[in-house]
Amino acid sequence: MSPKAQIPSHRKPRSRKMNTALRAGVTGGVMGTIALTAAAAPALASDKSAPAETVEMPTLSGDLESSTSRAAESMQASAQQYQLQEAKDAAATKAKEQAQENKEKAEAKARAEAKRKAEAKKKAEAAAQRASRSAERSSLSTASAPASETASKPQGGNVATVLNFLRAQVGKSYVLGATGPSAYDCSGLTSAAFKQVGIDLPRTSQPQSTAGTPVSLDNVQPGDILYWGSAGSAYHVAVYVGGGKFIGAQNSSTGIVERPMSYDQPTGAVRVL
C-alpha cells in the first residue's frame, strides 16, 4: 500500500453504487427478521395458552407398605426364633442338670451298696475265722497231752464245790505265779478250784486250754474252763459259773472278779467235769 493511502485526503472514495446496495441488503435482512417474528408469534401464543402436560411420578405408598409389612413379619419371625432357641437352651440346661443329679444319685447308691457288700464280706470272713478256730481247737483236743499235764477226772466230781470255792476267792489279789490261798494268778486259781474235787490240772494256761473236751461257747456249762487265745497257746483262763458269767483272776488292778462274758469275750472252752 502506498504511504499516502493512510492519509484520509488521499483515500480513494467508495463507489456510490456499492453503498446503496449495502444499505438495501441490511434493510431487507431486518424486514425479513420482523416478518419471521410476526409469523411465529401466534404459534408461541398458542403454546403458552395450552396447559402444560403433567408428568406423573411413580406411587411409592404401596411399595412402602409392603416393605414395612415384610419387615414386621421378619422381626416377628426373628423374635419367635429367638424365643424358641431360648426355650431349647433352657430345656437342654435343665436336662443336663437332671442328668448330673441322676449320676450323683447313682454313684451314691453304688457307694452305699459297695459299703454294704464290704461289711457283709467282713462279717462272713469273721464267721469263717471263728469256725476255723473251732475246727483247730477240735483238732488239737484229739492230741494226747503229756502224762504230767493230763488232768485226772475222779468219779464224783462236784461242780457246785468248784463254784463255791471260786466265789469265796472273789476280791482277793492277783499276783503272777501265785497259787493261793491269799493271792492267785489266772491258772493258779483254776488249779486250786479243781483240786477241791480231786482234779489236778496243768499249772499254766497253755496246757489247761486243751486239758478237757472242747465245747462251743454257745454250749458252755457251769464248771467249764474258758480260755483266751489259741487252744494250746492260751494266755488267760477262767471258769464259767453260769448266767453268762465267769470268775477269774484278771490282773493286778482288778484282782479276782466275777464278770459277764461280754466284758471280755473268751476264745473257746473245755470241759473237765
DSSP per-residue codes, 116-172: HHHHHHHHHHHHHHHHHHHHHHHHHHTSPPPGGGPPP--TT--HHHHHHHHHHHTTP
pLDDT of residue 129: 65
Residue type, 126: A
How far apart, in Å, are the Cα atoms of 56 and each of 50, 53, 208?
A: 18, 10, 135
pLDDT score at 249 = 97
pLDDT at position 151 over 60: no
Tell me the average pLDDT across 28-47.
52
Q: What letter represents residue 129's amino acid?
A: Q
Burial class (CB in 10 A: 0-12, 13-18, 19+), 245: middle
Nearest of 192, 190, 243 to residue 212 by alpha carbon: 190
As beta bridge partners, residue 41 has none
Q: Which residue has the higher pLDDT, 177 or 36?
A: 177
Lookup: cell for 215: 465245747
* Confidence grade of residue 3 (pLDDT, cut at 50, 70, 90): low
The secondary structure element, H or E, covering residue 79 is helix 61-141
Binning pLDDT at 50, 70 and 90, where does residue 22 land? very low
Mean pLDDT of 256-266: 95
Domain ranges of the chain: 94-142, 147-271
Cβ within 8 Å of residue 222, ≥6 positions away: 159, 163, 240, 241, 242
Pick the residue with more confidence: 79 or 251? 251
On whether the CB atoms of residues 219 and 142 are closer than 8 A, the answer is no
Q: What pLDDT shows up at residue 229?
A: 95
Check whether 14 has a pLDDT greater than 80: no
Strand partners, 217: none
Per-residue pLDDT at 114: 85
CA-closest candidate to residue 238, choices 205, 201, 200: 205
Fold of 147-271: endopeptidase fold (from Nostoc punctiforme) (3.90.1720)
Cα–Cα distances in angstroms (integers) from residue 35 to residues 23, 31, 40, 41, 217, in the given order: 18, 6, 9, 10, 160
Look at 80 and 174; give whichever has higher pLDDT: 174
CA-nearest of 179, 204, 194, 186 to 247 is 186
pLDDT tens per residue across span 97-120:
999 989 888 888 888 888 888 887
Is 232 in contact with 151 (CB distance < 8 Å)?
A: no
Mean pLDDT of 216-243: 96
Banded model confidence at residue 228, pLDDT cuts 50, 70, 90: very high
User: Which whole number is the average pLDDT over 65-89?
Assistant: 83
**Averaged confidence pLDDT in the chain:** 77
Q: Which residue has the higher pLDDT, 127 or 175?
A: 175
